[in-house]
Structure 1
Amino acid sequence: MNHTIKSLILLTTFMFCHYFMRDFWGESWSEVLLNLDQQTYLLYTLAKYLFIYGPLVLVAVLLFKQHPWYDVIGVNVSGSQHYLLAAVACCLPMTLGYAFLSTELDLSLPGIITGSVYAGLFEEIIFRAALFGVLFHFCRWGFIPAALISSVIFGLGHIYQGHDVMSVVMALTITTIAGTWFAWLYCECGYRIWFPMFMHIFMNAAYGIFGMSGGAAGDLEGNLFKATAIILSIIYVHILVRKGKTREIAFKTLWRNNGDVNSQPQPQSELTTQNSY
C-alpha cells in the first residue's frame, strides 16, 4: 500500500472520527459517567476522547505496523523527563506573569485535569502525532501541507471561544499558528509528544488557574507573557541543535519530506549524555 492510499485512509478516518463519531456517543453514557465521577467530568471527558478518536489512533498504528506503535503515535518515553524540565523552565515566566496580572485563582483539580492535562495529552496525540506526525513523518508529506491541514482543523475546534466575527477569525488564526508551532516542536524533539504536550498542559493550566480572559486570542498583556514561553521553546530547540541534533524542519522538507523514516532523531537525554564531558 503506497503512501497516497495510506494518507487517504488516515484522513478519511480522521474526518469520520472528528465529525461523525460524536453522533454515536449516546446520552445515556453521559449520564452514567457523570454520575460515576460526581459531575466532575473526569471519567466523562476521558471516555469521550477515547471513544471519538480511538479509531484514528488504531488505524494509524495498523497502517504502519512495521514500526513500533509507540513511535507511530509519538509516545516513546525516551527523554521525556528532560522535556518535562524544559517545559517547566519555558513556561515559568509566563506563569509568573499571569499570576501578576490575575485577580482570581481557580485551583479546581478536576478543572485542571479536564481542561489542561486531558487537552494537552489527547490533542497532542491526535493532532500532532496521529494526524500531522503520520502525514509528515511516515506518509512523507511536506511540513507545510501536513501542518496546515492539522493546524486548521485544530484551530476550527477553538472558534467557539470567539463571540463575534472578528474574535472568531482571531481565535482561528491564533490557534492555527499555535498548532503549527506545536507541530514544529513535535518534529524537532524526536517525533515525541512530550515537549509540546508539557508546554500545552502548562500553558493551559496557567491560563485557567489565573482566569486569564480573552479566549484563544488572549489580550495584549497576556499575549506578551505567552510569547515568552514560545520564544524560550525556540531557544531550547536551538540549544539542542547546537548540541548536535539534526534539524528536522528545513527548506527541503517544507513541501516534501524525503528523509529516512527509519532514522529517528536522538532524544534529548542522549544529546545531554554525549555533551556532558
Structure 2
Amino acid sequence: MPFFLIVQSCTQSDRTIKIKGSDTEVNLAVNLAERFDNRDHRFSIAISGGGSGMGITSLMNGQADIANSSRPLTDEEKQMFKEKNIELRTVVFAEDATAFVVNKENPINEIDVQTLGKIMDGKISDWKSVSGLNLPINIYGRQSSSGTYSFIKKKLKIDYSPKAKEMTGNAQILEGVKIDKSGIGYVGAGYISKKINENKGIKVLKIRETPNSVTVSPLDPISIKNREYFFQRPLYQFIPEKAWEKVKPFIEYETKGEGRLIIENSGYYLIN
C-alpha cells in the first residue's frame, strides 16, 4: 500500500491530519499537501492509499480525518455511518477521466464500450478480432476495495473475468501493461501524461460510447469539460463533522486558488 508522510515539528493531535483511501487520489493528495505545507507549517499530514474502501473503513473506525474516494458511498456504508452516529461532510474537489491503456505494440487506437465490456468480462479473450494481434488478452485491474474497480464494473455493467489480474495500484497496472504486449488495464488520469509522446511503453485508447459514435480521449480537456467522455467521474473526500474545523484550512486550499492549479497540473480536471 503506498504511504507518504509529511511531518512537521508540531505534534498536537489537533494539528495532525490523517488522509486515507483512493489510490487514484493519493499522488494528487500528496502534491496538494506538500504545497499546502509551504503556506501553512502548523499541520502534520499523513497520507496513504490502499483503495477507496479502505479509506471509508478507516474513517468509520476513527483512524482517518479524511477518506479519499473515487466513488460515492454505498447505501450499506451510509447506514453503517448512521448507526455509528458519524455525521459526514462530502467534498467533491476534482474530476477523473479513467483511461484504458494497452501496450504500445498493440495496433489498436480506439475501442467502443460494448467491445470493451466483453474484453473485461472475458467474453472476448484474444486480440485477433479486436486489433488483429494474435495474442490472448491479459487484463490488469484493481482489487475489489478499489473505487475504480467498482466504477468500471458499474459503467460497463459486467462481472470481471476471473482471469483478470488484481493489482495493488495504478502504477502497478501501468508497469504490467508496459512489459506485456497483450495487456490492457485502466488507470486514473493523473497517472498518464496529456502529452502522448511522454506515455512511454503504453497507448491510451480513445473510447466510443457506441460503435457509431465519435471517439473521445481521456486526455482531451474540452471533451471532459463538455462531459463527453464515458469514464469520467467526480473524486470525493468524506470528512466526519467532528474533524471539519481541523481539516477546513486544507480543504479550502484544495478547492480555491493555487490548489485548483495543482489539480490541473497533476493531470486531473476541475469541477465545472
TM range (shorter): under 0.3
Higher share in strand: 2
TM-score, length-scaled by structure 2: 0.26
TM-score, length-scaled by structure 1: 0.25
Higher share in helix: 1
